[in-house]
């Protein structure tokens, strides 16, 4: 049986969106936005989230180019994934995140139009993108790539 509870991450240059997901039919939901500094992620904040949610695995968005190639954002996400694995010794799966930020923006716009979100809530866009990444994994877990198989060094 695969992981039951996962934390998903959308790694950006300034922020990391975080979502929690469950393979038991509860889907995924955005839970936090963590700062990303020049020196790296806010690891104490991530550690607190891990203690709270006790994930069986981590899902990290893999921001490849449209044609599947590398870009600086992908190198940053892979470095974060390696450090996540090193710090927590937990399975890390990479999931194609192409267009997740666009989809997050569209979802947020719909929720704003319905009155359930306000402009000041825009900071959670990164966490919404992380939830979309987790949803993609829940829908097609076999398409995820395990960290060791995809990232060398």
Residue pair 90/57 in contact (Cβ under 8 Å)? The answer is yes
pLDDT of residue 105: 64
pLDDT of residue 27: 86
Beta strands in 1-138 (DSSP E): 5-11, 15-22, 27-37, 40-41, 57-62, 91-96
DSSP 20-52: EEETTTTEEEEEEEEEEETTEE-HHHHHHHHHH
Class of domain 5-150: alpha beta
CA distance linking residue 81 with residue 74, whole number of Å = 10
State the Rg of the chain over Cα.
Answer: 15
Tokens of 65: 């180019």
User: DSSP 3-state helix, strand, coil percentages of the chain (rounded to 5)?
Assistant: 45, 25, 25
Burial bucket for residue 29 (CB in 10 Å: 0-12, 13-18, 19+): middle
pLDDT of residue 117: 55
pLDDT of residue 111: 62
User: Closest Cα to residue 60, out of 34, 26, 39?
Assistant: 34
User: Closest Cα to residue 76, out of 90, 64, 92, 89?
Assistant: 64
pLDDT of residue 147: 80
Residue pair 17/127 in contact (Cβ under 8 Å)? The answer is yes
Q: Cα 129 to chain center, whole Å?
A: 7
pLDDT of residue 153: 43
Mean pLDDT by 10 residues, the chain (153 residues): 86 93 86 92 97 96 74 87 96 82 61 58 78 91 77 45
């Amino acid at each position: 049986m695969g992981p039951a509870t996962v934390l998903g991450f959308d790694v950006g240059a300034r922020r990391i969106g975080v979502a929690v997901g469950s393979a038991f039919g509860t889907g995924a939901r955005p839970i936090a936005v963590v700062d990303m500094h020049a020196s790296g992620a806010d690891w104490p904040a991530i550690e607190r989230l891990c203690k709270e949610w006790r994930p069986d695995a981590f899902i990290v968005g893999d921001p490849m180019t449209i044609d599947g190639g590398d870009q600086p954002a992908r190198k940053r996400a892979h470095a974060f994934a390696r450090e996540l694995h090193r710090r927590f010794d937990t399975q890390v799966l990479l999931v194609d995140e192409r267009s997740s930020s666009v989809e997050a923006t569209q979802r947020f716009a719909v929720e704003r139009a319905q009155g359930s979100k306000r402009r000041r809530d825009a900071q959670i866009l990164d966490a919404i993108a992380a939830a979309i990444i987790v949803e993609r994994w829940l829908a097609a877990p076999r398409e995820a790539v395990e960290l060791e198989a995809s990232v060398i060094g």
